[in-house]
Amino acid sequence: MTGCRALVTGGTSGIGLATVRRLLAEGADVVAVDRRAPEGELPCPYQAADVTSAADVAEAVRAVAALLGGPADVLVNAAGIYRIRPLLELSADEWDETLAVNLRGAFLTGQAVARDLVLAGRPGVIVNIGSTAALVADASEPSAHYNASKAGVVALTRQMAAEWAPYGIRANVVCPGVIDTPMLRLMDDPAAGQAYLETGVPLRRLGSAAEVAAAIVFLTSADASYLTGAVIPVDGGSTAI
């Protein structure tokens, strides 16, 4: 991926950080965009932005182009939040907060990057991060607002693929299952978590952020040149059963 310029939101933690590392290993130039400065050392430049803010996103996209010497042609939208709340107790503000980060954030960032690419007449590729929660319900970790936001990300990605194909921009969505990152709640109760892995996940283990990053980086690469609008579960088989 030498010569590729990549912007990764949520790039200081979990799946985003693993994607940063893998893109760098494949030769891309990368900037991590996140709302908090990284606690440890980052292997690439960092740009602060809250992805719910159109002004922050516009500034971040400008700053990334300046840092990398041209507009980003790879965008990975990994910024996200996950809150558990039973549907009967869920407040409108909690609904709005999750939709704002997970769905509005992917829209704002995707639109800003695509506008620059179209203006420059350059092709590009977007990978959004959905979730298996977009595909199946789970009453044991109730999070309707999260599930709805991720279903929105799937629909948004398909629409990006359809509208932006004429400009040479591909867009795909990866739907992780239970992945071992700071976001993961499954193992809060280790016994219940282990039971879920044994019955709900054919591969019977958590996934790693690096395993999700491998799928993401494949989608950004020339090897995926005929893939757009695809929804790819990376879930140890959980949505297959």
Q: In this structure, is the dihedral angle defined by the CA atoms of residues 157, 58, 82 and 43, taken in order, positive or negative?
A: positive
**What are the beta bridge partners of residue 228?**
none
Q: Which of 6, 10, 160, 233 binds ligand NDP (CB under 6 A)?
A: 10
Count of all residues that appear for the chain in the document: 241
Q: Judged by CB under 6 A, does residue 40 bind ligand NDP?
A: no
Look up 226 and say whether it is catalytic: no
User: Smallest distance from the beta carbon of 48 to ligand NDP, in angstroms?
Assistant: 9
Spatial distance between the Cα atoms of 122 and 142, rounded to a whole number of angstroms: 42
Q: Which of 19, 52, 98, 147 binds ligand NDP (CB under 6 A)?
A: 52
Q: Measuring CA to CA, how many Å separate 235 from each of 70, 75, 125, 133, 202?
A: 35, 22, 23, 11, 9
Q: Judged by CB under 6 A, does residue 109 bind ligand NDP?
A: no
User: Smallest distance from the beta carbon of 149 to ligand NDP, in angstroms?
Assistant: 8
Q: Which of 1, 6, 7, 15 binds ligand NDP (CB under 6 A)?
A: 15
Nearest 5 degrees, angle CA 114-CA 112-CA 125?
A: 35
Q: Based on CB atoms, which residue is closest to ligand NDP, 93 or 222?
A: 93
Picking from 67, 19, 24, 62, the residue whose alpha carbon sits closest to that of residue 43 is: 24
Q: Which residue has the tokens 């990057």?
A: 113
The interface with ligand NDP within residues 55-94 (CB under 6 A) comprises: 78-82
Q: Which of 184, 187, 210, 214 binds ligand NDP (CB under 6 A)?
A: 184
Spatial distance between the Cα atoms of 60 and 220, rounded to a whole number of angstroms: 20
| Catalytic residue, candidates 46, 82, 146, 226 | 146
Q: Which of 1, 31, 32, 34 binds ligand NDP (CB under 6 A)?
A: 34
Catalog residues that contact ligand NDP under the rule CB under 6 A: 9-10, 12-16, 34-36, 50-52, 78-82, 101, 105, 129, 131, 176, 178-179, 181-184
